[in-house]
Chains A and B, each alone.
Chain A
Amino acid sequence: MKLTPVLSANWDQKDLFTIDGYRRNGGYSAMKKALAMEPAAIISLIKESGLRGRGGAGFPTGLKWSFIPQGDGKPHYLVVNADESEPGTCKDMPLLLANPHVLIEGVIIASYAINSNQAFIYVRGEVVHVVRRLQQAVADAYAAGLLGKNIDGKGYDLDLVIHAGAGAYICGEETALLDSLEGFRGQPRLRPPFPAIAGLYACPTVINNVESIASVPAIINGGVAWFASMGTEKSKGFTLYSLSGHVKQPGQYEAPLGITLRELLELSGGVREGHTLKFWTPGGSSTPLFTAEHLDVPLDYEGVASAGSMLGTKALQIFDETTCIVRAVLRWSEFYQHESCGKCTPCREGTYWLVQILKDLEAGKGTEEDLDKLLDLCDNILGRAFCALGDGATSPITSSIKYFRSEYIAHLTAGQCPFDPVASTLFAGVNA
């Protein structure tokens, strides 16, 4: 399969992030087209295209837009989730650094489609240069008459606010993001009601990932048939796959949905020299781990799900045989413990105990019964909280015990971790 750069097609142009650079490449032409259409026709077009959410859940984007009630007399809001924080996920930040205007163009089209006059981009606060690029792009769009009153002379008004977060993974969860944007601690809400009915300020709200919204201008310009010519039956189009870890060329690879890791590794030069693939995440640390036996799993929503994991954010973190699975899983577990917002007891308490047990296991101090205790704890966290953070915490644990139980036991037999951490570093043998 071939790579298909669309979102990343012009990232090699040094001034792409400026409004002139973007316009030189046809920027804002899709907006002109869209503003001449009926809003309902745009929603139908996005529905027909088969675009699904690129933030992890894969919900059909056009369908989400169609849930917004029309003629209800309430303000509607579009909120872009740019709180990219899922471990391994690194696609939206380079997209926004290189091309913030494509997101703004998508925001205008999506807001017009759902009859919204106020949009927000909630961007994580730990990436100041991305915030800067977005602020400048918004200012330039206002100055060019692309935001504000009577956009492009078409009688449509839209205001857009760039809102910087302040360091909380949980705010990537859509209802926690809304609470955070309303000025509260970022804690998830119980659903229903869903944000389409009662979202920001209890008004109808669409929340979409950066990549989903940034894909909209290309679909408007390219058309449904073009978009659906890429991808698989139920997973249409192109997407950004992020390769990281023990590979020769980590980076962003834009390809049709359904490409396999084997193909991506062949294209990118493979695992680092002299080493072999041990385990990987298909879509961030919250998606159950895969191993070398999953190299040919089609990386689309259905393919990954039927192999027992989730496509997630397509964050392919690659680990070779030098990596200790227990160390890796412990570290992810510490992350979930740290980021659990504390609202739901199973997640707050459960992630704490997972870490305690894993620390002992990594030090070779536990017993084999601790593995069953871990699985039992996971059983009591999964599906028992308002949001999926706790579910995500169980993914690396249950999948690693499934594939690497013997490695956990090897820690117990040896009374310590049998791995040399230096061997797994990027600079192993260089200056270590």
Chain B
Amino acid sequence: MLLKEATSDQMDEIIARYPRSRSAIMPLLHLVQSIEGFVTPQGIELVASKLGLSTAEVSGVATFYTQYKRRPVGEYHVGVCTNTLCAVMGGDAIFAGLKEHLGIGNDERTSDGKVSLEHIECNAACDYAPLIMVNWEFFDNQTVESAKALVDSLRDGEPPAPSRGPDRLPTWKENSAVLAGLNDGHANEGVQAGPASLVGLEIANRQIPEIGEQR
């Protein structure tokens, strides 16, 4: 079995990090997605046998978390934040624009298998609204037009670098391996901080120190 051969040693290595093996269930499910693209029945069986659990117990966990997919997603999974702040700032318009542009709905993928679309909840980048995540990498300050251009380049196989992320946008499977706990060596790429993360510091640096103030 391809999955088993590809992951058995990695699975053992991940399980060994935890005081109790069951704690490894989440990284192992991410690892299954890194090979299969989604959580397959074979993946559930393998995780269950590795951890000494029933398949029902593993399925119960897998179905609780939205990042574990029950069917294939695109090579590039596009998440548009439509929680209140991003929605109001343009996320709703972006999501509607992308659905129309790609001809697919929420939780669907294009026929070439390149791009899938999902509306996501707050992704902790509200100061970069409206936000799009591709394979869970940040694409900040989007517009309807920039979002359409982004998905076009994904379909053309020329993905742009994320706003705050590695130099090359990894595929869905590659990033699933990182989530499984496998360091891909790209941590030192990309900016340390985006512009919005620095505005407060820049304003503070321009403030005149009060007399006698300690640094």
Contacts and interface: CB of A to CB of B under 8 A. Distances in A.
B102 interface: no
Contact of B61 (A185, A249, A253): A185
B121 A201 contact: no
A244 B127 contact: yes
A17 B166 CA distance: 14
Contacts of A331: 82-84, 87
Contacts of B4: none
Interface residues of A, number: 96
B181 interface: yes
A214 interface: no
B30 A164 contact: yes
B5 to A, nearest CB: 24
Contacts of A17: 187-188, 192
A105 interface: no
A5 B214 CA distance: 13
B1 interface: no
A40 to B, nearest CB: 25
B135 to A, nearest CB: 7
B194 interface: yes
Nearest to A244: B126
B199 A252 contact: yes
A97 interface: yes
B81 to A, nearest CB: 10
Contacts of A323: 88
A425 B23 CA distance: 42
B127 A252 contact: yes
A163 B20 CA distance: 14
Given A3-B203, A11-B197, A424-B89, A167 B124 contact: no
Given A87-B85, A166-B68, A183-B26, A431 B210 contact: no
Interface stretch (A88-96, A301-309, A360-368): A88-96
Given A183-B24, A185-B60, 17 more contacts: A3-B203, A5-B200, A11-B201, A89-B124, A93-B125, A97-B193, A125-B136, A126-B120, A132-B184, A164-B180, A166-B179, A244-B126, A246-B89, A250-B128, A268-B203, A317-B84, A335-B83
Interface of B: 17-20, 22-27, 29-30, 51, 60-61, 64-68, 79, 82-85, 87-90, 92-93, 120-130, 133, 135-138, 141, 143-145, 162, 164-166, 170, 175, 178-181, 183-184, 186-188, 190-205, 207, 210, 214
Interface of A: 2-5, 8-9, 11-18, 75, 84-90, 92-94, 97-98, 118, 124-129, 131-133, 135-137, 139, 161-169, 180-186, 201, 226, 241-246, 249-255, 267-268, 285, 315, 317, 319, 323, 327-328, 331-332, 335, 338-339, 341, 421-422, 424-427, 430-432
16 contacts: A4-B204, A15-B192, A125-B136, A126-B79, A128-B136, A128-B165, A128-B178, A162-B181, A167-B65, A167-B66, A186-B65, A243-B127, A251-B197, A251-B198, A431-B143, A431-B144
